[in-house]
Structure 1
Amino acid sequence: MPGIIVDLTRIPALEALADAFVTVGEDWRVSYWNAAAERCFGAAREAALGAPVWEALPAAAQPSLRARLAAVVATRAPLRVPFAAGGDGPALTLDASPLEGGGLALHFRDATDHARVAERYSRLLASIRDGFVAVDADWKVVYVNSAAETLLHVRLHKAVGASLLVHLPSEPPELAAALRGTMGDGQPRRLQAVRPGVEWLRGRYFDLSVDPLAGGGISLLFQDVTERQEREAELARLAAEAQEASRAKSRFFAAVSHELRTPLHAIVGYTHLLSTDSYGDMPQPASRAAERASVCAEHLARLIDDVLVLTTTEIDRLPVYPAPLKLAEYLNEVLEPFRRQAEAKGLRFELDAPAGLTLHVDPERLRQIVYALVTNAIKFTPRGHVRVGVRGTDGEIEIRVEDSGPGIAAEDRARIFEAFEQVGDDARTDSIHRGTGLGLTIARKLAGRLGGSLALEGGDGAGSAFVLRVPISAPE
């Protein structure tokens, strides 16, 4: 629309704008100049109308801006760019849009607040310890913060405008895939402990966040986590060494236990023969000494047996041989010695095992668990009762060993399952009478080997209840 001047009376809304608004025709001459444009650029409307826009707005005459405005006319794609009007005027943002009949509409907004916000965010990005890089839709770097300059050994003036694709490492492939993926679909992506295949990074590791930018392009936020990776690798090495040391300890205990069992059992046998006058009459003090030696040797033999079971459980070599088992008949037979022991102590012993319950389990391992639980219940219950109850539910059998003893304090409930840990009354000061401190440890490990669990119920002062749960069908 060359030579046409817009009638101001027809567009009063544009006159009311606080922003400068200018239109130019196809011949690049000013066809409209509102009152805000007069104030903003210091040019009277009469002087601006009909003049080439490059004269009315000298700042628009810069070759780069002229080319971009021409592209708006050619492609009809809107443009938003910073605009420096010169002088003491405020910073502006120019929105250039094509007009339907030809020419352009130029809308100049005060960008002071926007610039202030942008400067604040720029200072924030510059101050963070993580690297930050912004890339436009054409893969051109538009921003690099100071942390990124340090981490990547680049300088802002050299990085901005460079193509990220040219400098993108080929290794690892997931790095390039994440950047291309977010650029393509706009979905954020996260990578951990990425090690770019670039020699000058000297094998450093980075955590990377790739996010889309509102105006197109992507942002990269990355943190150097090399020290963290090195610490984790060192911890993994130490853990492996500790595990190997534990396995070596278990193998040592197993070997020593095997070697000690034979002579200890011989000592037990010979001292028993001595204490029972099998070799002839012995003085009474000698018989008592032999009996005491026999008791001590039996205690050591039990300790060796417990250590052997514990170590073989720890290194997963304990054999398990499941077999069909009628539980009521089995427990009646296994617990009969304990019934007599409890009654001799003045305790009431109860067994409640419904007939007909059958499960597939290793009888010997189950016996070891039940022995440990019932022995403890009788040993540490001064009066009252010991009760063994059985019930089947949800594909498993529950064996509950209850006592009316003093219970176990809350602070001791976790550690009673630890090896060599013992809690209780003063009667446990004698090592022979208090046992090895391995019974519950072994019982819980054996429960796990059978595919079940062992837990403690009951509170301080209200007795204790140990609950063993094992599947009706033995696990593979």
Structure 2
Amino acid sequence: MMAELRPAEGLPLLPTMQVEPHARRLALAVVLASVVVFLAVVPFAKVQLAPVNAFIPIYESALLLNDLITAVMLFGHFSILRSRALLVLACGYLFAAVIVIPHALTFPGLFAPAGLLGAGSQSTAWVYVLWHAGFPLFVMAYALLNHRDGAQPRLIQHPGRAVAAGVLAVLAAACACSVLTTSLHDVLPAILKAGKYTPAGSAILTSTWLFSALAIVVLWRYTRRSTLDVWLLVVMSAWICDIALSAVLNGGRFDLGFYAGRIFGLLAASYVLIVLLLESNRLYARLAVAHDDALLRTRDLQRLNTQNEERAAQYAQALDELHYKDEEIRAVVQNIVDCIITIDSSGVIRSANPAVEQVLGYPAADVAGREILMLIPELEYDAHFFLRDKMVTDTAALAGSSTEVEGLHKDGRRVPLELAINDFEVHGERLFIGVLRDISERKRFIAELWQARAHAEHANKAKSAFLSNMSHELRTPLNAILGFAQVLTSESMPLTVEKRKHFTTHILKAGKHLLVLINEILDLAKVESGTLALSPEPVGVAEVVRVCQEMMDPMAEQRGIRLVFAVDSGLHVLADRTRLKQVLLNLMSNAVKYNRPGGAVSVACTAISAERVRITVQDDGQGLDAAQLAQLFQPFNRLGQEGGGEEGTGIGLTMTKRLVELMGGSIAVRSEVGVGSVFTVELKSAAPMQHAESPDMAGAITPRRAGLAAAPVRTLLYVEDNPANQALIQEVIAFRPDLRLLTADDARLGLDMARAHRPAVILMDINLPGMSGDEAMAILRADPDTAHIPVIALSANAMSRDVARSMAAGFVRYLTKPIDIDEFFEALGSALDPAEDKTLQQR
């Protein structure tokens, strides 16, 4: 395999081409010009220039494209040459391209005043350091690997896997650098203060500068002076000018050195790309010329072939036709990929072509004179072809037909074959010719097709069942909501106050059930798509069980179920606290709901090893049979409880299993009909987290002023385009005589009303016509007249990313529709109280 790959090294590609004199002179001229410009700029490097906001995105976009295209082209060269050194260099350019992204995202004032990704004041500077120290590392590794391989490089046999591994490694390194410079930036020394370099920053950046100089020394000492090596020396020279001007000799950001250095960096990223493109054009031109020459030669060959055919036809008349045909057939048989064997009437092989060795492992010379049964044992019993020691005489029906048989390979394995057989006569002797074709790949392909079809049918059935169950579960509470709503709005049905209250209670109950179902479906969708975010931490099991006990006590007491807990207070598990509580509440609520009257639910927690903790929830219910256990964790499958008196969605146990597995644990169940069920959850154990003592918050609470007069009527502004939602909030606010509600149908009208009326609180929908709520929030915060007004988001967007985006925009609270009245008033009160305190202070 290695010998087959080495000829690629002779191809006229940039990494293997010896540098030509004119190219060497051009590279030297570029370096000298860079030095001249560098020396001319150095005296003015600290001259402060006006910050150009568009410079950084333009510069880094060009840098990203140049380095990325260069990396792709180098990966392409690597796929041909398969040199480890070239793979490392391509990864270096990919690293230089990828690291630009966190540098841009964390740059202050580019996308956010303090940068994105949780950036600190030093994040961008440290990304720059890791960026400009990382690329020389790759260059030095390239040079050292070139030197180590020497004249006989170690070629990589699977370039595709190597490229994938290199890309993943580069992405992992870039992510690690991003995390180090953002989340952990506080542990890093300060490089910049007030836009100027600190002494530590100057030392670090100077070291990075010298590190790049070391890369030039390594390149000069250890490379073979190919065209690529020479231009890498030019790149590193420009790289040194970049670091010197923009990070060592200048004073800080947006001075002349800052701009000039980045221009040198852009040139450094462009040199190899330009040379690659020029060399690609030259190679393409040579390929075009070669193609034209090949076409001319092909025409000449065709003309010569025509002449040869004419001469062969003339010679054929003078030669023995039988001899000519024999030679022609022999050539075809020797070169065909199928096995061709000739057999006499007694079943003995007369001859075989070389393909028999590829298919069955026997050299052609070894099978001559042996029985056909050695290759195809089953023919001994197949009356269509052979009987023992003789051929079937009637083969007219078999002419042109084929059948599947099993051949016996030399190593003993069975090989599926397609066999076609015909008879012929030579000098009065009857012979048989058989054509054997290996159909292993065809059989495997057909088997894979059938398997894929079976998987697709299974997935389609599962999808249909899921949609059918989800439709049923959604329509059930909707039926109650719409049915009772129609009764309430009907003028032909006289209703008493008690019936209206009863029907309204059913509507609320069904609506809450529908909301629970939607939330569980959304959670399940997040789990299945891999977007559910977990925060693993050491969690005390006893603490979570105690919270669950407080929530379950009323439900258990109402049903007469006794709760028994046996939990060691010292046990901790590695889990997401909220999701662990969700898992235990699901298991405990099921154990209470489906228990027998007067039964008990036992919750226990034990350490089964130093690494694992087991939590068990046991009930005294009716238990489950084997068929029910097999369907236990299927979505929307309530195991025959759909018509019972207990409400449920059929998703709880599915979510429980997914959550436990996402937290690195496992869940199991054992059950006996008439006895009850035991659910077992095993999670990784963890050492308890060390918490700092909380300050006494009681002392921080300031009592309200005594003798405060009754609060005046305060104004609320509700920005909502849906009339029904406006009407609902109007009815809710009507219960508060101290509040006055104003409404606006779109964001622009809402902004005008906010400036005119200065409301105490603004309720804002997110999806508004013309301008979104997030955009309106930005305008409110930018206006000094409205910046102090608390704004509460009231939206149907319930996804976590939507909530996080709006909270980052400045909303004090985020409430999702349908609203909970108690939660709404609580949020309204928390927003009004600071406004009231501010008014009192102004008095």
Give TM-score, length-normalised by structure 1.
0.48
Q: Which protein is richer in strand relative to its size?
A: 1
Q: Which protein is richer in helix relative to its size?
A: 2
Which one has more relative contact order, counting CA pairs under 8 Å at least 6 apart?
1
Report the structure number with the largest CA radius of gyration: 1
